[in-house]
Amino acid sequence: MKIIWLGHSGFRIEIDGAVLLVDPWLEGNPMFDADRRGEAIAGATHILVSHGHGDHAGNALGIARELGIPILCIHELSDWWSGSEGVETIGFSKGGTVALGAVRVTMVHAVHSSSVDFRGGRPEYAGGEAGYMIAGEGRTIYFTGDTDVMADMGVFEDLHHPEIGILCAGGHYTMDMARAAYAARKFFNFRTVIPCHYRTFPILAQSAEVLKDGLPGVAVIEPEVLVPIEI
């Protein structure tokens, strides 16, 4: 499989015949080179959105229309987008699993918030926030979405045994590097950890050294935009 960072919390994941765009915020993302948009979305088969905030869902509709591919997201947001925006969606909820060919995607809980800026900037409810377990090629990836540490993570390990963790770790809006390291040590047996939701803005962590120091024996890979991580 290939895991390709698109900056901030966006990823392109090529796994078991599927090409997933996860929280693909490209336009306005200071880490992403707009001239490489075509490269980032080429051949995508599905879009996964963890919650409605613009730095995660901001470009999902445009990409879905352009490529004619469905968006997987929580039920309320799915109903909204399929009804008013004319895009194909696959709506499900926490604990639900969707089969994408050989890939299985399970929506799991996160602790954050979810809204969409609408009608003059007033936030509109967008269903609950979530993370995803993505299983394929004999491995499972845990994409946390935006969250803090939570005891539910122990259940996630028991049920899914993810080997790869894509962990929000920038702090301020999500858990920081130290809390992400604690979560990984306390609840999981990751072989590989990839931090995200950092470096985008000055208010967020700019380095993953604290995460690396907190996870001896785990391969902590600081991603670079559009540079594939092959696992």
Q: Is 68 among the domain residues?
A: yes
Q: What domain range is 167 assigned to?
A: 2-222
Answer yes or no: is 45 within a domain.
Answer: yes
- The domain tally of the chain equals 1
- What is the pTM for the complete model shown? 0.96
- CATH, residue 167: 3.60.15.10
230 in any annotated domain = no
Closest by CA position to 180, among listed 199, 193, 162: 193
C-alpha dihedral over 30, 5, 148, 151, to 10 degrees?
170
- What amino acid is encoded at 13 in this protein? I
Question: Would 229 be classed as within a structural domain?
Answer: no
pLDDT tens, the chain, 231 aa long = 999 999 999 999 999 999 999 999 999 999 999 999 999 999 999 999 998 887 888 899 999 999 999 999 999 999 988 888 889 999 999 999 999 999 999 999 999 878 776 656 677 776 789 999 999 999 999 999 999 999 999 999 999 999 999 999 999 999 999 999 999 999 999 999 999 999 999 999 999 999 999 999 999 999 999 999 999
Residues 6+ apart with CB under 8 A from 202: none
Is residue 102 domain-resident?
A: yes
Looking up tokens 């999500």, which residue turns up? 174
Question: Residue 228: inside a domain, yes or no?
Answer: no
Predicted pLDDT of residue 86: 86
